[in-house]
Amino acid sequence: MESEVLEEEDQKSAVRNNYLSVMEPSWRQHNPPRVPNLIGGRFVDSQSFASIDVINPATQEVVSQVPLTTNEEFRAAVFAAKRAFPSWRNTQSTIRQRIMFKFQELIRRDIDKLAMNITNEHGKALKDAYDDVLCGLEVVEHACGLANLQIGEFVSNISNGVDSYSIREPLGVCAGICPFDFPAMIPLWMFSTAVTCGNTFILKPSEKDPGAAVMLAELAAEAGLPNGVLNIVHGSNEIISTICDDDDIKAVSFVGPSTAGSYVYSRASAKGKRVQCNIGAKNHAVVMPDASMDTTLNALVTAGFGGAGQKRMSLSTVVFVGGLTPWEDKLVERAQALRVQPGTEPDTDIGPVISKQAKELICRLIQSSVGSGAKLVVDGRNILVPGYEHGNFIGPTILSNVKVSMECYKEETCGPVLLCMEADNIEEAIDIVNRNKYGNGASIFTTSGVTARKFQTEIEVGQVGINIPISAPFPFSCFTSLKPLFAGDINFDGKAGIQFYTQIKTVSQQWKDVAAGTSSDV
């Protein structure tokens, strides 16, 4: 009993020392602050002279600077993760879970700071920033109960005196490459599950909004995550290639655009790594003539324009079966009622898009569509927000008469742009969705159970919504996406996430009673 008390006191002391090491980081003293790397439990300013400005998209203010991590610093992070792995994998699963319990408690404590940081760096409305953190928090809460999902199987006496059992073991050093659209949720998707399964982790946040990931790492340290278990490196294309090539990294998780995801998958898998890449976003809604008007319009406006259309689960394309005419006026009315302003303002519906380059691309795709014959029903390109004239704002935009040959349909728009198409029947609508190369998810709005069942059976996407927009599932289920939107063998979240971050070892054992002189040879 006394040894248990001493062990507990040692653990508390280690937690305190670990947390104190990150209480007064010198990198905060820079103006603007320079985002640190996290290497072996220490937040350190990179020695790199090259950096990328993190811009507040509503004001163009430089919020911070992200260093381009040097190769030596990257190797130090991998070495720290590799050195921490033997001890961490042998840490009791209950202790790992306790750290996750404390971690989720600290996230709740600091959710206001996290949400404000996300709004300042990403631009999304504050209420969307809270949702970003809360969706990631659900994964942390799920991680608190992972031990029972890692239970193996036991078969006794499969042969004469031979028992066989399987156990799940962590892989080693894993890595995660994150996009800009969910600065808190996606890092938590990745490292919460990975480290609770006993792995150590290298996290590369998006260079556009890395602050939330750093704040979460500080909270993980405060919760007692040992030094070296979680490490953070920053950069752009070069650091991504380095992660893919490093022989000590056993698995890579990626969420982001299609081109980058395809590159990560091919390069990392060629090095023999486990890879999961969720890429691309062009989600459809099919609206039947019998759909509830109010419910459907609310869903289309919320899921089409929320987060400035930059969410991977946005409904960017709507196929109206029987024609758009009965819906158009009310859809326009609701879109024009949305409030476009900085995310920090109360009651904001649409904040700015992430960068000037993103705004220019969205505007180019809109103009290209009009030039190809689309009708510009609502034009949000020239919106002005008083006091924020330099912000990257685009108002809700609706294009009708969109064809599958148009550039806006073939490419990822990633903005508050709703593309409206028409189909004569449900079969034609399903065919349109299935022929599009981007298929994270699709929704149908109808009051017919027969039509809904036909849709869920024949549609070729990973996530299906019936009378609701597509949303990321709860972490105890599985975030599924079909190829080519998903590259890899095992998806995120749920049991699949545990399967990705662990490997099965099968043990067969036989014990002979030598003293009795018995034989139990197979």
pLDDT by residue for the chain (522 residues), tens only, comes to 444 444 554 554 455 455 444 444 555 667 789 999 999 999 999 999 999 999 999 999 999 999 999 999 999 999 999 999 999 999 999 999 999 999 999 999 999 999 999 999 999 999 999 999 999 999 999 998 887 777 777 788 888 888 888 888 999 999 999 999 999 999 999 999 999 999 999 999 999 999 999 999 999 999 999 999 999 999 999 999 999 999 999 999 999 888 888 899 999 999 999 999 887 667 999 999 999 999 999 999 999 998 898 887 888 999 999 999 999 999 999 999 999 999 999 999 999 999 999 999 999 999 999 999 999 999 999 999 999 999 999 999 999 999 999 999 988 888 999 999 999 999 999 999 999 877 678 999 999 999 999 999 999 887 899 999 876 555 544 444 444 455 666 666 667 788 899 988 888 888 887 665 554 454
DSSP string, 485-503: SEEESS-BSHHHHHHHHEE
In a domain, 501, yes or no: yes
246 shares its domain with 288: no
- pLDDT (0 to 100) of residue 231: 98
Q: How far are the Cα atoms of 134, 275, 347, 512 from residue 354, in angstroms, in the given order?
A: 21, 27, 19, 67
* CATH number of the domain bearing residue 136: 3.40.605.10
- Within 13 Å of residue 85, how many CA atoms lie on the same side as its CB? 21
DSSP-derived letter for residue 33 is P
Per the DSSP assignment, residues forming a β-bridge with 165 are 154, 507
H or E segment and range at residue 4: helix 2-20
In a domain, 407, yes or no: yes
Cα–Cα–Cα angle for 252, 258, 264, rounded to 5 degrees: 30
In a domain, 404, yes or no: yes
* CATH number of the domain bearing residue 455: 3.40.309.10
- Within 13 Å of residue 27, how many CA atoms lie on the same side as its CB? 20
CB 292, CB 447: distance < 8 Å: yes
Positive/negative CA dihedral, 236, 239, 245, 246: negative
- pLDDT (0 to 100) of residue 439: 66
Positive/negative CA dihedral, 258, 259, 265, 266: positive
H or E segment and range at residue 431: helix 426-435
The set of residues, in sequence order, having a beta carbon less than 8 Å from that of 286 and lying 6+ positions away, is: 318, 319, 321, 423, 426, 429, 430, 433, 442, 443, 444, 445, 455
Angstrom distance (rounded) from CA 343 to CA 110: 19
230 shares its domain with 265: yes
297 shares its domain with 187: no
376 shares its domain with 421: yes
- pLDDT (0 to 100) of residue 390: 94
In a domain, 474, yes or no: no
In a domain, 447, yes or no: yes
Phi, psi at 321, each rounded to 5°: -75, 125
CB 463, CB 441: distance < 8 Å: yes
Q: Count of residues for the chain?
A: 522
193 shares its domain with 210: yes
Helix 494-501 and helix 185-196: axis angle, to 10°? 60
- pLDDT (0 to 100) of residue 23: 46
Q: Nearest-CA neighbor of 400 among 423, 421, 428?
A: 421
- pLDDT (0 to 100) of residue 277: 87
b/e per residue, 266-299, with b = 16+ CB within 10 A?
ebbbeeebbbbbbbbbbbbbbbbeebeeeebbeb
- Structural domain containing residue 360: 284-466
In a domain, 478, yes or no: no
In a domain, 246, yes or no: yes
Tokens 């993760």 belong to which residue? 81
304 shares its domain with 276: no
pTM of structure: 0.88
Angstrom distance (rounded) from CA 129 to CA 120: 10
H or E segment and range at residue 128: helix 126-143
CB 195, CB 52: distance < 8 Å: no
Per the DSSP assignment, residues forming a β-bridge with 442 are 284, 464
- pLDDT (0 to 100) of residue 156: 83
45 shares its domain with 93: yes
In a domain, 334, yes or no: yes
Two structure tokens written together for 312: 């991977």
337 shares its domain with 423: yes
CB 277, CB 271: distance < 8 Å: no
303 shares its domain with 330: yes
Angstrom distance (rounded) from CA 342 to CA 392: 10
130 shares its domain with 162: yes
- pLDDT (0 to 100) of residue 235: 95
496 shares its domain with 398: no
CB 203, CB 178: distance < 8 Å: yes
Helix spans in 224-281 (H): 237-245, 258-270
Two structure tokens written together for 230: 């979680």
Two structure tokens written together for 137: 């928090």
Two structure tokens written together for 304: 């089409």
Q: HEC profile for 330-378?
A: HHHHHHHCCCECCCCCCCCCECCCCCHHHHHHHHHHHHHHHHCCCEEEE
184 shares its domain with 205: yes
- pLDDT (0 to 100) of residue 436: 86
Positive/negative CA dihedral, 82, 86, 89, 95: negative
